[in-house]
Amino acid sequence: MTPVNHDIEPAAAGAVRLLIEARNRDPFALLGPHRDERGGGTVVRAFQPEARSIELRLMATGELRAMEKVDPAGIFEIRLNPTGDTGAGFPDYRLRITFHGDHVSEIDDPYRYGRVLTDFDLHLFAEGTQYRAYDKLGAHRMTIGPTNGVHFAVWAPNAERVSVIGDFNGWDGRVQPMRLLTPGGVWELFIPNLPDGEKYKFEIRTPGGAVLKKSDPYAFAFEVPPQSASVVRDITRYQWHDAGWMSARQQQNRWFDRPMTIYEAHLGSWGRVPEEGNRFLSYRELAHRLVPYVKDLGFTHIELLPVMEHPFSGSWGYQVLGFFAPTSRFGPPEDFKYFVDACHQSELGVILDWVPGHFPKDEHGLARFDGTALYEHADPRQGEHQDWGTLIFNYGRNEVRNFLLSNALFWLEEYHVDGLRVDAVASMLYLDYSRREGEWIPNRFGGRENLDAVGFLQQLNSLTHGDFPGTITAAEESTAFGGVSRPVYLGGLGFTYKWNMGWMHDMLEYIEQNPVHRRWHHNKVTFSMLYAFTENFVLPFSHDEVVHGKRSMLDKMPGDVWQKYATLRALYGYMYGHPGKKLLFMGNEFGQWREWNHDVSLDWHLMDDPSHAALARYVQTLNWHYGAQPALHQCDFDPSGFRWIDCNDNENSVISTLRFARNPRDFIAMVFNFTPVPRGEYRIGVPEPGLYVELLNSDASIFGGGNVGNGGGVASEPVPAHGFDQSLRLVVPPLGCLYLRKRE
């Protein structure tokens, strides 16, 4: 890159006045080096409103020459003869600025550098196909010629003027206005010699004359909230140690026939340090505490509530402003990479909650970014989310879609994450979501589907699955929208998985009934199998089910303390036996009594109680069996992997099922008793004769139960039952579950 070669007439008085008033859209036409059309040689101009004097240092000789203050507002100028010009046509120089108060600073002149972004960059961005937009916009360290500095670029097509502001220029928007690139409305400026760690924002003058101070939408780092400045950060220097994991991931096309148990965590409240003012654990501390804990429990993945920078902790991360920056609450970006790296070295996948459905209205954020509805719709019937007081992305605008798509790819590439769980998909899919008649605008066919959002989600899944094989996407979609996990080429949205919200709500509604009444709600347990194979489902007991008065999982269970523990064990056993991948929110594994509170740590002292420790041991055992037994995970999305033994015993509130591996002779029989009454002499049919071993008995004393069971195993009898020639005569424990496998 060579210095810019301006060839202009002397600055017009009107353009100078616009510069002084911070309204000039083309500062490069006035500032920096230019050919001196009147006397030959070079004229150099600088604008420093707070400067008392400026000297120009010629780098070839070290000579200092005083610049003339040609306007009292702070415009300085000097004319040089051509002698000493560099090969590029202009001399190499620096500006030595003496400010009022005699503070002296020597800087390289940003206005002697040429354009960085190309017309092709702008073309791709405008048509929505610049899928690595984060490499072009934002703040990037680069070297131009011998000079290292930071290139800033921002999309603000309707702005009258955009400047970079920070400590390095006194947060004065008059000092470093940016160059407008047309068409497209992208502004850019290269600032030499700017170090990492500098705070900055973009000062934007709107068409109406208002002055906004906006954080960088593409920033890689931010100040710790509630401060809101973006931070210059080179995030490319971290040395990864997960090559083996990444190589294996690339070969693993999908997780469909592999075990997947997900531990959902909120980093700000999984654990804190109360003796140090209740401070957060850092990313590095979490890498050494959370990661081995989750691995020891037998989970295959960690899913994190949004780690992208967000101003309000009470949003749990779901109101994002720094889409490209891991929150600074827990440390710098490199430390989050360290956390992901530690997960991969422990053979744990990392899934991030991702929020492309809406964004908050904070004045330093995306809302009316250049004074107009840029990222959102202008019409509140399309652009405002009434439930959450947030704004909805305009998925029909190429640049907005580009922002979101490149953001999804960014986390998969730059941070090596293994998947994205997309939040609130239903709110994206429906134009009338949570709206009354007259409060929404139908699509072009008169329907309520948001066609732009549908196209965006299809594009998202095509790109992520195509560019990063082995990664997954999961939709939190709470309606019966068809084909959420069907491939795009078959007309679906293309997600790898869909959360099974219907199963979750039905099971919780059932299990919260008094056991004596469950016989009247038996269909809540069986209904999910009518649609279990219409999507690739994840069965979630997530954070949403343990807040806002819903009570913790353990406290939801009816009855006395013994019944609560036993019922929860039976529920988890049914979850792990039901087709679909599994997700459990933190604290659910050891039976936290109180609801989740994002402001404090989980109640880890409960693990000193044998009952809570036994529940955690039970979850660990479930994870172990789920991973070790192909019948429990290989055919999660294939009807051949499931069969009812008996789904009609509502009088006893007992369910019995079979799960099969791809090899149909590899199967597990399961029985679930949802009453506190032990069931002796309980007969279930089985496919083959033999000795059936109790793989799992949720009433075992090691799990806190009463050891009601079958002494470790039971032999089949040639008594027909449930369509089979062989059957088992069992003792089924109260509020318990059994997993039985034929011994080879």
What is the DSSP-derived secondary structure letter of residue 492? Answer: S
H or E element that contains 294: helix 283-297
CA pair distance 250, 244, nearest whole angstrom: 10
Q: In this predicted structure, what is the pLDDT of residue 203? A: 98
Task: Calculate mean pLDDT across residues 624-629.
Answer: 97
> Is it the case that residue 254 has pLDDT exceeding 70?
no
Between the ranges 145-149, 364-368, 382-386, where is the mean pLDDT highest?
364-368
> Which of these is catalytic: 370, 384, 476, 506?
476
C-alpha–C-alpha distance, residues 131 and 451, integer Å: 21
Is residue 606 predicted with pLDDT exceeding 90? yes
Looking at residue 13, its pLDDT comes to 72
CA dist 667 and 661 (Å) reads 6
Q: 324 CB contacts (<8 Å, ≥6 apart)?
A: 134, 138, 217, 218, 219, 220, 308, 407, 410
Contact 213, 201 (CB under 8 A): yes
The mean pLDDT value for 501-513 works out to 97
- Domain 13-109 class in CATH: mainly beta
Q: Which pLDDT band holds residue 84 (cuts at 50, 70, 90)?
A: very low
Which of helix, strand or coil describes residue 690? coil
The pLDDT value recorded for residue 8 is 37
Q: Which fold has domain 262-630?
A: TIM Barrel (3.20.20)
Condensed to tens digits (0 to 9), the pLDDT of residues 401-413 reads: 999 999 999 999 9
Residue 306 structure tokens: 């949004």
Handedness of CA 303, 309, 313, 316 (dihedral sign): negative
3-state secondary structure of 55: strand
The DSSP bridge pattern shows strands 497-499 and 472-475 to be parallel
Inform me whether the pLDDT recorded for 637 exceeds 50.
Answer: yes
For the stretch 719-733, pLDDT in tens is: 999 999 999 999 999
How far is the C-alpha of 535 from the C-alpha of 580, rounded, in Å? Answer: 9
Query: What sign results for the dihedral spanned by CA atoms 241, 247, 253, 257?
Result: negative
Q: What angle do CA 314, 472, 268 make, to 5 degrees?
A: 25
Tally of CB atoms within 10 A around 209: 9
Distance CA 609, CA 616 (A): 11
The amino acid occupying position 739 is: Y
**What architecture is the 119-231 domain classified under in CATH?**
Sandwich (2.60)
pLDDT at residue 4 tops 80: no
Kindly tell me the burial class for residue 362, based on how many C-beta atoms sit within 10 Å of its own C-beta (0-12, 13-18, 19 or more).
Answer: middle
Q: What does DSSP say about strands 272-273 and 279-280: parallel, antiparallel, or unpaired? A: antiparallel
376 as an active site residue: the answer is: no
Closest by Cα among 356, 441, 434, 436 to 394:
356
CA 573 to chain centre: 30
pLDDT band for position 81 (50/70/90)?
Answer: confident
> Quick one: which of 325, 294, 289 has its CA closest to 307?
325
Q: What is the 3-state secondary structure (H, E, C) of 184-232?
A: CCEEEEEEECCCCCCEEEEEEECCCCCEEEECCCCCCCECCCCCCCEEC
Residue 195 tokens, joined:
């170090």
User: What's phi and psi for 313, nearest 5 deg?
Assistant: -65, -30
Q: What is the pLDDT of residue 17?
A: 87
C-alpha to C-alpha distance for 364 and 71, rounded to whole angstroms: 33
User: 6 in helix, strand or coil?
Assistant: coil
Q: Are 108 and 94 in contact (CB under 8 A)?
A: yes
- Fold matches, 13-109 and 638-742: yes
Arithmetic mean of pLDDT over the chain: 94
Query: What is the pLDDT, as a whole number, of residue 11?
Result: 45
Q: Is the pLDDT of residue 244 over 90?
A: yes
pLDDT tens readout for residues 103-161? 899 999 999 999 999 999 999 999 999 999 999 999 999 999 889 999 999 999 999 99
Give 101's pLDDT tier (boundaries 50, 70, 90). Answer: confident
What does the block give as tokens for 55? Answer: 């000297």
What DSSP string runs through 615-657? HHHHHHHHHHHHHH-GGGTTTTT-GGGEEEEEEEETTTTEEEE
How far is residue 354's CA from residue 332's CA, in Å, rounded to a whole number?
19
Q: How far is CA 683 from CA 159, 606, 649, 730, in A?
A: 76, 39, 12, 6
Neighbours of 627 (CB within 10 A): 17
β-sheet bridge partners, residue 624 = none
Reported residue count of the chain is 744
pLDDT at 384 over 80: yes
pLDDT at 9 over 90: no
Contact 188, 121 (CB under 8 A): no
What integer pLDDT is reported at residue 166 of this predicted model? 96
Label residue 680 by pLDDT band (50, 70, 90): very high
Q: Characterize the bridge pairing of strands 301-304 and 349-354.
A: parallel
- What is the rounded CA–CA span in Å between residue 569 and residue 697? 10
Tokens of 21: 């008033």
In the residue annotation, 423 being an active-site residue is answered as yes
Alpha helix segments (H runs only) across 488-643: 501-511, 523-526, 553-556, 561-577, 610-628
**Pair of tokens at residue 277:** 């003012």
Q: Which CATH number fits domain 638-742: 2.60.40.10, 4.10.490.10, 2.60.40.1180, 3.60.15.10?
A: 2.60.40.1180
- How far apart CA 256 and CA 420 sit, in angstroms, is 16
Q: In this structure, what are the phi and psi dihedrals at residue 467, rounded to the nearest 5 degrees?
A: -85, -25
Between CA 122 and CA 527 the distance in angstroms is 52
> 629-639 in b/e burial notation, b at 16+ Cβ within 10 A?
bbbbbbbbbee
Compute the Cα dihedral for 384, 385, 389, 393 and give only its sign. Answer: negative
Domain boundaries, the chain: 13-109, 119-231, 262-630, 638-742
Q: How far is CA 278 from CA 269, 286, 402, 600, 603, in A?
A: 10, 15, 39, 8, 13
Residue 66 has pLDDT above 60, yes or no: yes
CA–CA separation, 99 vs 55, rounded Å?
A: 12
Q: What is the pLDDT of residue 6?
A: 41
Q: Where are the beta strands (DSSP E) in 129-198?
A: 138-144, 147-155, 161-166, 179-181, 186-192
Query: Strands across the sheet with 32-35, in order?
Result: 32-35, 42-47, 75-80, 68-71
Q: Which of 77, 334, 376, 423 is catalytic?
A: 423
Among 189, 161, 181, 187, smallest CA distance to 120 is for 181
Q: What is the pLDDT of residue 89?
A: 66
Amino acid, single-letter form, for residue 484 = V
Beta strands in 310-454 (DSSP E): 322-326, 349-354, 384-385, 390-391, 419-422
pLDDT score recorded for residue 39: 67
